[in-house]
Structure 1
């Protein structure tokens, strides 16, 4: 099921439009979670009889899809996103593999999410794990963590995860690609059509330190990815810094140059990305649970 029919107040229209345009491409070109991160999250849920996952900024459902396979006992998935088109992609990916697991899709801004009240006779399904994968930077972080404190089980964990992007990755081919983007769009990193990217004023660790989930461990998972040049162009379509609409009528010219550049840097048709997938795993202190 999906609720509500109208999004919760506070949904930024430009943000929803950005993800709506990229939903199908996102499902095809965005990398999934590395195995090490999946195993880390699965271990949190493994000893629970009917575990519940709350995935915030679910996008195309990559986190619940990975955990559905890794945690056969997973009983319920609550997947939240600002984009109904992203939720459609998540539904298409998850429904065929649900089995006995139930799924609720929620069109909402993460910090104002609230679960549906249980029906008479139903027990409350408080999440055992709350995840934000490559999405926390779009959110009101302190608001999200306060919401998680309201809805999560006493011994729940919060996982904030991500691995940067091809803009931040430091390799010869990504530097050359970034310089080409800047030649077309200007030196500042774009964040959609109306603004430039600004670094967060606070780190994720600072947000967590000020929250109920201030018992934090960091886990670093090394990842090696190989990209074909055409896959990189597909990935760029999903980003806020190189989406097609940013280039307007110059987009085809940019793609022609980018493809030639990527082929020139490829070895045996492949471009290698050596990344680090970081997981901040946070819990309430023992005495506060």
Structure 2
């Protein structure tokens, strides 16, 4: 079973998209020109590709979850600008092979690098990225980070149902103890620039539950026949923090852009 089995509809509707400021940073990471090729690794429901439509005219987006790709197809195909190309490919990053002669100007990996064989993927990308191209690894903080009182309350509820350790589907999440920039510095893309983009969001109870159901640590199937009980517990916990069903979040995207060093 996929780590994200049963989450695609929630992912598409409730996962925060890519802010315009982040899309601008990604756009500026590589030189302008046409054709301009994007490889989006672990695309999920296509949130990154969607944010970069119109900035890249040749896009390949890969994911190993067919339900996620179906949701991406439904969302992205109608928005595709005239003359642009979009291919959605069911594949892991470790097994992906681009079309003969195809090289990306930019590779994006958003909220997915921790699932990958990181050194292997970065080494493989050396053949898949054009000269002068870049690899961008980025993401914002998960609710599991619990950096505010209402998030802490939500995490406590999740833990009371599923255990203290963060779940990863039917297993537990394995934390990486090395900064991604350090891993990138040992790869072909060893010239690394870090950029931080703050984001401010407003949530409701419905949106928070939808977000939780989009994650591998609180996917609906993990709760079995206790899903209704879990929802009631989350609603009760959140009610202690707001009588108006408004929950503010201060977050940020940390973007790491790696380029090949000069010889």
Which of residues 43, 54, 63 in structure 1 aligns to 2:39?
A: 54
Report the Cα offset of residue 270 of structure 1. Answer: 1.0
Structure 1 Cα separation of the partners of residues 13 and 43 of structure 2: 15
Q: TM-score, normalised by structure 2?
A: 0.95
The answer for the alignment partner of 1:68 in structure 2 is 53
Which of residues 151, 156, 175 in structure 2 aligns to 1:179?
A: 156
The answer for the alignment partner of 2:85 in structure 1 is 102
2:20 is the alignment partner of 1:24: no
2:144 is the alignment partner of 1:167: yes
The answer for the alignment partner of 2:102 in structure 1 is 125
Q: TM-score, normalised by structure 1?
A: 0.87
The answer for the alignment partner of 1:41 in structure 2 is 26
Structure 2 Cα separation of the partners of residues 128 and 282 of structure 1: 12
| CA deviations over 1:43-65 (Å, ceiling 9, x no partner) | 23462222000000001111111
2:122 is the alignment partner of 1:145: yes
Instruction: Structure 2 unaligned segments of length 5 or more: list them.
Output: none
Q: Answer whether contact 2:146 2:155 (CA < 8 A) is retained.
A: no
Q: Answer whether contact 2:166 2:173 (CA < 8 A) is retained.
A: yes
The answer for the alignment partner of 1:120 in structure 2 is none
In structure 2, relative to structure 1, the CA distance for the partners of 1:161 and 1:129 (3 Å cut) is same
The answer for the alignment partner of 1:200 in structure 2 is 176
Q: Provide the aligned length of Structure 1 versus Structure 2.
A: 262
Structure 1 Cα separation of the partners of residues 193 and 30 of structure 2: 17
2:213 is the alignment partner of 1:237: yes
More relative contact order, 1 or 2 (CA 8 Å, 6+ apart): 2
Report the Cα offset of residue 264 of structure 1. Answer: 2.9
More strand by share: 2
Q: Answer whether contact 1:213 1:283 (CA < 8 A) is retained.
A: yes
In structure 2, relative to structure 1, the CA distance for the partners of 1:267 and 1:154 (3 Å cut) is farther
2:90 is the alignment partner of 1:113: no
Q: Answer whether contact 2:30 2:134 (CA < 8 A) is retained.
A: no
Q: Answer whether contact 1:75 1:102 (CA < 8 A) is retained.
A: yes
Q: Answer whether contact 1:222 1:274 (CA < 8 A) is retained.
A: yes
Structure 2 Cα separation of the partners of residues 221 and 92 of structure 1: 29
The answer for the alignment partner of 2:60 in structure 1 is 78
Over 6 Å off, 4+ runs:
none
Structure 1 Cα separation of the partners of residues 14 and 162 of structure 2: 23
Instruction: Structure 1 unaligned segments of length 5 or more: list them.
Output: 1-13, 118-123
SS at match of 2:157: helix
